[in-house]
Amino acid sequence: MPFSCRMPMSAVVAAAVLCSFPAPPAAAQEAVPSSCEPVTPNAFQGSDSERINQAIATAAASGRRVVIPKTNHAADGPRDVWLLDSAILVQSGTTLELENCRIKLSDRCRDNIIRSANCGLGITEIAPISNVSIRGIGAAVLEGADHPRATGDSAKILAERTYGTDAGVQSESQSGDWRNIGILMAFVEQFSIENLRLVDSHAWAISLERCAYGKIRDIDFASTGHRTIDDTTQTILNQDGLDLRQGCHDILIENLTGYTGDDLLALTNILRADSTAGSTESTMVSAAVNRGDGLDDIRNITIRNLRGYCAGGHHIVRFLNASGLQIHDVILDGLIDTSGSAQPCRAAVKIGDSNPRWGGVTPLGDTYRLFISNIMSRSQHTVLIAGSLSDSIVSNVIKYEAEGPPIAFESGEDNVRNVIFSNVQGITPPTE
């Protein structure tokens, strides 16, 4: 039946009745839409970071959303980039929409692109916040600096292993830390991060600590572990895509794409005995401790539809826990290795690690109820069990264009208990 835009007679009568009433006073007409209009940083003065944060504070006070548009009406004239000298700080009730805009760290910035406002330098007690939405509309890009002051995690020394213009500057930290993370949130509940492209991250593109009841979807990554800076190839380490850390639970992750210098997606739960919240000596902004009673377990995570690879040759998905911290009740459904002719990854999915640096093989029962299915990869290992795994199912796995079995037991099969493997297949590459 062809589409008709004619109103039914009942609607015509209703419209006529409504139109017979006098229009409300002009003041009343203006009051209704003004409370719904979004807040834009173009309405404020100062640096780009200051204007965006003023817009967020104003919107939070009035219950409105913030829209960062493509065109930045800066004091020195309009431009199509927003340059940050410090992080965008989101608070409870923030709805932040990035509308076809490009947000880039300036060469002066040693900070996150976006951070939850409850955490940061010197904040030792992090108060939980809630209801935070970060959403790209159209093509929204978050990008690293042309000359990053620091890159890598807290174990990397600037200029020795990873790039940073702060190398040798006495007043500045000489290692990476949580400020190198693109989007960093801690103790945030009821949140969403959607439809963003993150390019040339200084370390992890997105990291969540003790966050819950949220969703991350439609995120594209573009980092290779190296950058050409002033005509010289520089190493940029620890360019993970998305990391979930201590205490993250009840989170949906879907539609991650692209390539990263390190693991595309990592669930990492590792203790650090000397950790203090707000310190620059860690890659976590909250304390990397175990609060006990399962509060810091990573749990109830659903992961769907990953299409990407690690350009640095590491892993596409990594599950890593140690020292009594657990990972359990996780669904991973759908992973396609898109590396093509690029360097194959070491593993499409790696579970645990036998290296004592990461706590060694976890006791049986610390990593359990993982349901991994529909994995297709040309990596060196498709599913690599390097720690322990129990009470789990691994199914529908295809390994192609690589030698060896689709399931590898690096730590030995005695560290696997009550795990069902079904419909796993290795397609041996043809010999010439």
**How far apart, in whole angstroms, are the C-alpha atoms of residue 126 and residue 283?**
16
What does the pLDDT look like over 73-109, one tens digit per residue? 999 999 999 999 999 999 999 999 999 999 999 999 9
* Chain centroid to CA 115: 12
Residues 6+ apart with CB under 8 A from 325: 246, 269, 270, 271, 290, 296, 297, 298, 366
Contact 127, 187 (CB under 8 A): yes
Instruction: Please report the domains of the chain, with CATH numbers, ordered by start residue.
Output: 38-240 (2.160.20)
Specify burial of residue 356 (Cβ count, 10 A radius: 0-12, 13-18, 19+).
exposed
Q: What pLDDT does 320 receive?
A: 98
**How far apart, in whole angstroms, are the C-alpha atoms of residue 407 and residue 394?**
9
Question: Is the per-residue pLDDT at 71 higher than 80?
Answer: yes
**How far apart, in whole angstroms, are the C-alpha atoms of residue 244 and residue 298?**
8
Q: What pLDDT does 41 receive?
A: 98
* Chain centroid to CA 186: 12
Question: Is the per-residue pLDDT at 312 higher than 70?
Answer: yes
Task: Write the DSSP assignment of 18-45 as a string of letters.
Answer: HHTSPPPPHHHHHHHHHTTSPB-GGGS-
Q: What pLDDT does 257 receive?
A: 98
**How far apart, in whole angstroms, are the C-alpha atoms of residue 277 and residue 274?**
10
Q: What pLDDT does 431 receive?
A: 59
Identify the DSSP state of 39: B
Contact 394, 424 (CB under 8 A): yes
In DSSP terms, which residues pair with 212 in a beta bridge? 189, 249
Question: Is the per-residue pLDDT at 335 higher than 70?
Answer: yes
Contact 247, 210 (CB under 8 A): yes
Residue corresponding to tokens 């979930």: 244
**Arithmetic mean of pLDDT, 363-384:** 97
**Arithmetic mean of pLDDT, 117-125:** 98
Split at pLDDT 50, 70, 90, the class of 272 is: confident
Question: Is the per-residue pLDDT at 10 higher than 80?
Answer: no
Average pLDDT of the chain is: 92
**Token pair in block for residue 73:** 């009406």
**How far apart, in whole angstroms, are the C-alpha atoms of residue 385 and residue 377?**
15
Percentage of the chain lying above the pLDDT 90 cut = 87
**Arithmetic mean of pLDDT, 131-155:** 98
Q: What pLDDT does 406 receive?
A: 97
Decide: helix, strand or coil at residue 173.
coil
Residues 6+ apart with CB under 8 A from 28: none
Total Cβ atoms within 10 A of residue 289: 17
**Token pair in block for residue 107:** 């060469």
What does the pLDDT look like over 220-239, one tens digit per residue? 999 999 999 999 999 999 99
Contact 220, 260 (CB under 8 A): no
Split at pLDDT 50, 70, 90, the class of 27 is: very low
Element (H, E) at 217: strand 212-222
Residue whose C-alpha is closest to residue 267's, from 311, 332, 215: 332
Residue whose C-alpha is closest to residue 303's, from 331, 328, 327, 329: 331
Q: What pLDDT does 275 receive?
A: 87
Element (H, E) at 21: none
Question: Is the per-residue pLDDT at 14 higher than 90?
Answer: no
**How far apart, in whole angstroms, are the C-alpha atoms of residue 173 and residue 151?**
11
**How far apart, in whole angstroms, are the C-alpha atoms of residue 288 and residue 270?**
7
Question: Is the per-residue pLDDT at 155 higher than 70?
Answer: yes
Percentage of the chain lying above the pLDDT 70 cut = 91
Q: What pLDDT does 273 receive?
A: 79
pTM, 2 dp? 0.91
**Arithmetic mean of pLDDT, 154-162:** 96
Q: What pLDDT does 299 receive?
A: 98
What does the pLDDT look like over 383-420, one tens digit per residue? 999 999 999 999 999 999 999 999 999 999 999 999 99
Q: What pLDDT does 341 receive?
A: 86
